[in-house]
A and B are shown apart, each in its own frame.
Chain A
């Protein structure tokens, strides 16, 4: 059994590490640093941390202003509040001005759980992805999120990173490479490819094991960067396996699946099935109950795989 850790924890721990040698990192919070784990940074470096209160627009605008002086600034809150409430500030102040601001949000997806639909952000990948200059990341586990946090500090310019509230299985290792925009193939396979991000990568690996018993050999790709999307890896998967299933804890419109089919439609059209939330809001429940009820489980990926393989020419 893999170790279970939420990616928000990895983010919180890594910015503390980075802060030891980089005094240009500033962290701004909309009074949710306890939940986003930005409070680890607050405890370590109180003078470089600012809780601006429940004012998401102000958090983003202030972070953008400070970044113009050479600081690497983090704007942190829940995904639903920062990406939705402060969208204009992210578009204008961060992206249009190409500021060195990292928008890092926890509490995305159905795995927010009992707080219900208002807090379960299922649109962030879509609305962040359409903004010029913005890069979009959704790390898969505690090991990867720490590498991603290092990478976004090293990389200049606007970046959105989604972290999880729910503990996720650790499925990558320290020695795995992490490059923004370069997907990692987690499992080789020739009959169908699963392209997933975040929690859906481990569901995809589990689905691949189920299908193995049926003699189906599934490739699994961890698409930790939704933008810029790794075209080469997608095209190779389409050409070599002939069928794709996308899987994301996000609305079916505009997110990872859409980014993948944009590439396929242009460069390598093959049958695709998309596992995602089907244009609805969530509700209260345990993360496990919700993932099952909204068809985001390994068995749903298995079903999608069987369907897409039948559609192969």
Chain B
């Protein structure tokens, strides 16, 4: 919930703990996607602990803001965020990707607080638009957020949805691109370059904010600006680092979908701790 005084230090402390928990749960499960989870930590914290209207004790509250996690492989950061927000016990994080757990390999509505099953890329923005259209018809003020990956927006369906949102003036849609620069097999810029990305979204009729996606002040300011921008949808291009916080994972495609072993986990947590003291 938006607060009058935002304690940035406490958000930073959360970011440190979230990264640790993400790596621990992926280590325990033996598989999962650390790179794009670590890059989206500050984005998810800003949404769930600052901007979004939601009730962890009442996940289906009618007037809640909705987040569609279009990059569905980052279930670790989603699960850690929802557990810390109070949707379910943090004990369940130990059962991530295990048979019978409600924490699936890709984001799933079995998990309390998740709005929509995802996993195949390029789907979420159209779903968010549908929610936004419905909200306007119902005269509801809740908003539709959509978190996308940078590699993901190579999918043509994203741009179909981008046209729909601007054509129908869906100012209750806020898209966030986690621009962490790396996709499965290398650098986005080398595989299929997105640049000039700001101009692309602008030419599709969007209000565009390009910010440092690890900077809470910038995220909060951008999310606030998106909310008051009327007549067009807003996209926040969050410039981030894949694998953020763990140097041997940063900007390494190999860590897109690989679990750290016990030794790597130990080294990673040490790095997170030393990074925090800087």
User: Would B157 and A61 count as touching, CB distance under 8 A?
Assistant: yes
| A25 CB to nearest chain B CB (Å) | 11
Residues in A whose Cβ lies below 8 Å from that of B167: 53
Contacting pair B164 A88 (CB below 8 A): no
**Inter-chain contact A61/B135, CB cutoff 8 Å:** no
A62 touching B161 in the complex, CB below 8 Å, given contacts A67-B130, A92-B117, A97-B117? yes
Q: Are A55's CB and B133's CB within 8 A?
A: no
Assess whether A57 is interfacial by the CB under 8 Å rule: yes
Query: In the complex, A61→B157 CA distance in Å?
Result: 9
Interface of B is mostly: helix
Give how many B residues have a beta carbon under 8 Å from the other chain's beta carbons: 33
Which residues of B have CB within 8 Å of A64? 126-127, 130
User: Size class of A's contact patch?
Assistant: 20 to 34
0 or 1 for each of B37-70: is its CB under 8 Å from A? (1 = yes): 0000000000000000000000000000010100
Question: Which residues of B153-191 have CB atoms within 8 Å of chain A's CB atoms?
Answer: 156-157, 160-161, 163-164, 167-168
Interface: A96 (CB within 8 A): yes
Assuming the contacts A68-B115, A71-B134, asked whether A61 and B163 have C-beta atoms less than 8 A apart, the reply is: no
What is the bound-complex CA distance between A30 and B5, given in angstroms?
A: 47
User: Is A66 a contact of B134 with CB atoms below 8 Å?
Assistant: yes
Question: Is A89 an interface residue when CB atoms closer than 8 A count as contact?
Answer: yes
B118, B125, B126, B130: the one contacting A68 at CB < 8 Å is B130
Q: A58-B161, A61-B157 are in contact. Are A69 and B118 (CB under 8 A)?
A: no
Q: What string of 1s and 0s marks CB contacts (under 8 Å) between A62-83 and chain B? A: 1111111101010000000000
The answer to whether the Cβ of B216 comes within 8 Å of any Cβ in the partner chain is no
Residues of A within 8 A of B138 (CB): 69
* Contact present for B127 and A69 (CB under 8 Å): no
Q: What CA separation (Å) do A88 and B120 show in the bound complex?
A: 8
Cα A66 to Cα B167 with chains together (Å): 17
Q: Which residues of B contact A50 (CB under 8 A)?
A: 133, 168
Contacts of A61 in B (CB 8 A): 123, 125-127, 129-130, 157, 161
Q: Verify if B141 is at the interface (C-beta below 8 Å from A).
A: no
Residue numbers in A under 8 Å from B133 (CB-CB): 26, 50, 62, 65-66
Residue of A52, A53, A58, A93 with most chain B CB atoms under a 10 A cut-off: A58
14 pairs of residues in contact across A and B, judged by CB atoms under 8 Å? A50-B133, A50-B168, A55-B163, A55-B164, A57-B157, A61-B127, A62-B161, A62-B164, A65-B127, A65-B132, A68-B134, A89-B157, A91-B120, A96-B117
Chain B residues packing against A (C-beta within 8 Å): 66, 68, 109, 115-120, 122-123, 125-135, 137-138, 144, 156-157, 160-161, 163-164, 167-168
CB within 8 Å of B: which residues of A? 26, 47-48, 50, 52-53, 55, 57-58, 60-69, 71, 73, 88-89, 91-93, 96-97
